[in-house]
Amino acid sequence: MQNRQVLFVKRPVGAVTPDVFELRDAAVPEPADGEVLVRNIYLSCDPYMRGQMGESGYSRGPFELGLPLPARVVGQVEKSRRDGFAEGDYVWGFLAWAHYSCQPADMPLWHVDPAHGPISHGISVLGMPGLTAYAGMLKYGKAQPGETVFVSAASGAVGSVAGQLGRIAGARVVGSAGSDAKVAHMKDVLRFDEAFNYKEMDIGAALDKHCPDGIDVYFDNVGGETLDAVLARLNEHARLPICGQISEYDVMNSADQYGIRNFPNLLRKHATVTGFSVRDNMDMFDEFVLRMAALMKSGDVVYTEDIVDGIENAPDAFIGMMRGENIGKRLVRVGEDPTLG
């Protein structure tokens, strides 16, 4: 048995390119006492990983060169030498882009219950991206009936849930994303009130058209020009959960970073800006899973996963996600999912 891995071998400058990664075949590790060998099934492609590819690592510390890329992964226990985990259990954890990962004794793993839905949901709508949207919209955005909520990158893993939670709160929801197919998805599948393609329109003009009464909640996934245009259109006591700044990730800490001009409007409008991390909100996890599972069951929240097959395609899947190829959560399936009929 071979263990194909994707190594992180080069720190990107600007956009991530294929030579940042290298495929390698290694032996499948044998778990030591306290360790769990996981057969990986779904690998997550997350924008925050771009930050960790840089020297500074952004908020989490840089990825080490020459090692399999660390990531959230759902898999199945192949061999266990840890209490509480048995062969065949479905789990998720911070594992690696590889066919197999051996989770060290001091690193946590969590069970994924297939009774709650597809096991991939453990790293999508019922996992980190879902909780990010839930905390961002409910705790920091506090959308109210009749308000206008605007979400950027709104057809993606986090934005698609954030917008739907705004709709469920009774707000009028407007989304932006980078293709007409995404606009159709936001309107027809996610049931947003309005959506626009930010690559085809002047963002300020689009906001004037689709948010004629101003913006009460801005769920920011992208930063840059979009954030600046929103700042000029805030209502009194607007709330801005700052979830991500993806338009800046490739140029972070360089002179190419976008310079925000409309900052003074935050003062004029008595607005609240909250930069937040999902990691600050783990205390909401149990409440979130119960509520989100119920919303999925009732059909009030729908979720799309954009799955690429094959570990050798993981680098392109990540690069494509950063470029906006994905609708919904971008995952890579690297092994058989026995829960699929």
Binding site for ligand NAP (CB under 6 A): 46-48, 129, 132, 153, 156-159, 177-179, 182, 221-222, 243-247, 276-278, 321-322, 324, 326, 330
Select 246 or 314, whichever has its Cβ closest to ligand NAP.
246
- DSSP 8-state class, residue 247: G
Select 118 or 328, whichever has its Cβ closest to ligand NAP.
328
Calculate ∠ Cα 173-174-175, nearest 5°: 125
Question: Shortest approach of ligand NAP to residue 242 CB, angstroms?
Answer: 8
Question: Shortest approach of ligand NAP to residue 220 CB, angstroms?
Answer: 8
Q: How far is CA 44 from CA 72, 120, 152, in A?
A: 6, 9, 21
- Strand boundaries in the chain, DSSP class E: 2-8, 21-27, 36-44, 67-68, 70-80, 90-96, 100-103, 110-111, 148-151, 172-177, 194-197, 215-219, 234-242, 272-275, 305-309, 329-333
Counting DSSP H helices and E strands in the chain, the numbers are 9, 16
According to DSSP, the residues that pair with 156 across neighbouring strands are: 328
Select 37 or 314, whichever has its Cβ closest to ligand NAP.
314
Question: Shortest approach of ligand NAP to residue 178 CB, angstroms?
Answer: 3
Select 206 or 246, whichever has its Cβ closest to ligand NAP.
246
Question: Shortest approach of ligand NAP to residue 295 CB, angstroms?
Answer: 18
Backbone angles phi, psi at 64, to 5 degrees: -80, 140
Select 15 or 86, whichever has its Cβ closest to ligand NAP.
15
